[in-house]
Chains A and B, each alone.
Chain A
């Protein structure tokens, strides 16, 4: 049991803090869910990437610092404490890259990862379809064999930031006659500006337009953009370096910074007695999430597989995030209503957390079956 960091890790933290102190924009960037904000955030990714701070845990060869999970956690704590911008590259960095690091070819890694690290290519996740949400394996978009590659057709939807992103990754049905729905799927990458692709922005609850649906009409994709081999898509997509992703989807640093801001707001607003307990719970929750993540990282570094434990994470942070923002809005009262306020923006975004990345109902099923060993129910 040890929560102290080695001098080398602390030196890394200090280096990150110094860099962030010198580079974090003085004024917040416009929302990355808008065209203007997207461009500003892309420039910020480039600035991070230039000094190898965009993907610290990646191998140096692809633009990272090869620094391991603990330093990644420290970096994230510093990042959010410094008030640095949200990460427009997140889908690529936290979902596609870990998959390529494990299942991709070296050619793919060299071609795809460095431009991702520099924000030159921003990726969208194209998994969901109109009829395939929680039951993702029921997806219908097709990949049909053609000379030197595949032709993609069908429709993807709810793709975050696809309206402004460059490329996307998703699953396609390449062998339609398999007995089980998750068989015969292929994991592919495609260009969002290729001929045959139509992207239609969908306004989110907060009115921001970066969310989109994607229509595909015989879009050509070369063989080199298949991840992990034809027909093996489900396994590859689900494994997605599964363990680490469970830890890195949402870093504790983000919630520690938010809880700090909330506590400061509460102290500054006369220590409102009506929200006191919930403010305390927000502070406690951030700490709990941080320590839970440190324990998980320790197990991961010991070589243990984390697997379904990441479902505990997912439910915790998503419900925590909503509660934190609801508390802030209750504390602010009418001052919290204007939609451009930080807390109001954060609140509207937090509401999606229990829905995306696998709904919390689906996560609870995973916990029940795989962590508690309860019998499978009807789905």
Chain B
């Protein structure tokens, strides 16, 4: 029992932080959202060089082995720097593609950052993220209602298909998200059949877990960034002759944000250790609620400047809202915690 990151994990976080600080991510986010993914792709490959995507890929396929704790560490940093793109989706893709055939063909490219993947899974919402900027889109269909357990009826008809970049939708079919950096489109039917059968449904359930975990980590990072920036701002900004950060109404809102984020953190790492669906759901709802509440606080305490698209704070503000709904919103996650969703099938005692 030593429930703390070790020195290597902490150093990994620090090195990613340094890399991303130097990368001027706000500019990258803005061009990504405008439909020009070049800077984002360049950053993507640097993140891959640092090992980020390899953490979702077994060693046999040029990965670092599946390491959810390190992945969570990395995704907190990605969130802190508002890195755009189908990040959780690429991790989910790596998990989906671990089946015998596709693994060899695709996983090395994902691990190395040559391939950006996006996915559409049952239970994952109506849109696929950033398909126009991705190299491939994976879809799982036909899992019936028991998608995530892979044990229910109907999973025998599950299919995993891939479409490659050449088939990407025209920009005109891309819908803007309320987060300007997220580009949404409807999943495409068809594509090459990679695998079929109950193992696809089981793989989809597992991929959903990894997407949820990494989304939770990203959300925590988004919340931490919002808190840091707001604390810095209220120390600087003066009204009535004193820094606004000396007003108790301001201080107490920020203290509440700190409490919420600091209690989301252990849930995230506890979930990464267990990979239990209920633990992951608990981490997701808590991190996302904490990040979202912090976003509201951040906006309020910045005043009007926080409400402008020009000011970088906006990049994190809207991200917090979008991540809250991605890969299982608060209601779905809470149902999973109580073991009453269609997916986990039974009561579960706490701890």
Whether chains A and B associate is yes
Residues of A within 8 A of B (CB): 1-6, 9, 70, 77, 256, 259-260, 263, 266-267, 271, 276-277, 279-281, 283-292, 294-295, 297-299, 301-302, 312, 315-316, 361, 363-365, 367-369, 371-378
Least distance between B11 CB and chain A CB atoms (Å): 14
Given contacts A1-B4, A298-B3, contact A316 B349 (CB under 8 A): no
B248 near A377 with CB under 8 A, answer yes
Q: Report 17 cross-chain contacts, Cβ distance below 8 Å, ordered by A residue.
A: A1-B9, A1-B272, A2-B273, A3-B270, A3-B273, A267-B338, A276-B335, A284-B285, A285-B263, A288-B263, A291-B270, A364-B252, A365-B255, A372-B258, A374-B231, A374-B251, A375-B243
A283 near B267 with CB under 8 A, answer no
- Per-position binary interface string of chain B over residues 246-277, scored 1 when its CB falls under 8 Å from any chain A CB and 0 otherwise: 11101110111011001111110110111000
User: Complex: how many Å from CA A364 to CA B285?
Assistant: 24
A263 near B5 with CB under 8 A, answer no
Given contacts A1-B273, A259-B350, A315-B259, contact A283 B251 (CB under 8 A): no
Given contacts A283-B350, A284-B267, A374-B246, contact A368 B255 (CB under 8 A): yes
Does B60 sit at the interface, judged by CB under 8 A? Answer: no
A365 near B251 with CB under 8 A, answer yes
A276 near B334 with CB under 8 A, answer yes
User: Complex: how many Å from CA A228 to CA B270?
Assistant: 41
Least distance between A379 CB and chain B CB atoms (Å): 9
Does B234 sit at the interface, judged by CB under 8 A? Answer: yes
Residues from chain B with a CB closer than 8 A to the CB of A2 are 1-3, 273
User: Complex: how many Å from CA A284 to CA B288?
Assistant: 13
A375 near B246 with CB under 8 A, answer yes
Q: How many residues of B contact A (CB 8 A)?
A: 53
Which residue of B266, B338, B351 contacts A279 across the interface (Cβ within 8 Å)? B338
Least distance between A71 CB and chain B CB atoms (Å): 10
A284 near B286 with CB under 8 A, answer yes
Q: Which residue of A lies closest to B245 (CB)?
A: A374
B350 near A256 with CB under 8 A, answer yes
A289 near B263 with CB under 8 A, answer yes
Does B154 sit at the interface, judged by CB under 8 A? Answer: no
- Per-position binary interface string of chain B over residues 32-49, scored 1 when its CB falls under 8 Å from any chain A CB and 0 otherwise: 000000000000000000
A288 near B334 with CB under 8 A, answer no
Least distance between A151 CB and chain B CB atoms (Å): 40
- Which 7 pairs across A and B sit closest by C-beta, in order of nearness? A291-B266, A280-B334, A368-B251, A367-B255, A364-B255, A294-B3, A375-B246
Given contacts A4-B1, A367-B259, contact A277 B330 (CB under 8 A): yes
User: Complex: how many Å from CA A367 to CA B267?
Assistant: 21
B residues 1-46 near A (Cβ < 8 Å) are 1-6, 9
Which residue of B6, B247, B285 contacts A1 across the interface (Cβ within 8 Å)? B6
Given contacts A287-B270, A377-B251, contact A1 B350 (CB under 8 A): no
Least distance between A271 CB and chain B CB atoms (Å): 6
Q: Which residue of A lies closest to B4 (CB)?
A: A298
Least distance between A245 CB and chain B CB atoms (Å): 19
User: Complex: how many Å from CA A70 to CA B179?
Assistant: 43
A284 near B337 with CB under 8 A, answer yes
User: Complex: how many Å from CA A284 to CA B282?
Assistant: 6
A288 near B259 with CB under 8 A, answer no
Residues from chain A with a CB closer than 8 A to the CB of B255 are 315, 363-365, 367-368, 371-372
Residues from chain A with a CB closer than 8 A to the CB of B245 are 368, 374-375
B338 near A286 with CB under 8 A, answer no
Does B99 sit at the interface, judged by CB under 8 A? Answer: no
User: Complex: how many Å from CA A307 to CA B259?
Assistant: 15
User: Complex: how many Å from CA A9 to CA B246?
Assistant: 46
Does B114 sit at the interface, judged by CB under 8 A? Answer: no
A302 near B4 with CB under 8 A, answer yes
Residues from chain A with a CB closer than 8 A to the CB of B279 are 287
Q: Which residue of B lies closest to A69 (CB)?
A: B1
Residues from chain A with a CB closer than 8 A to the CB of B2 are 1-2, 298, 301
Residues from chain A with a CB closer than 8 A to the CB of B242 are 375
Does B315 sit at the interface, judged by CB under 8 A? Answer: no
B267 near A9 with CB under 8 A, answer no
Does B331 sit at the interface, judged by CB under 8 A? Answer: yes
Least distance between B258 CB and chain A CB atoms (Å): 6
Given contacts A364-B252, A364-B255, A375-B246, contact A267 B347 (CB under 8 A): yes
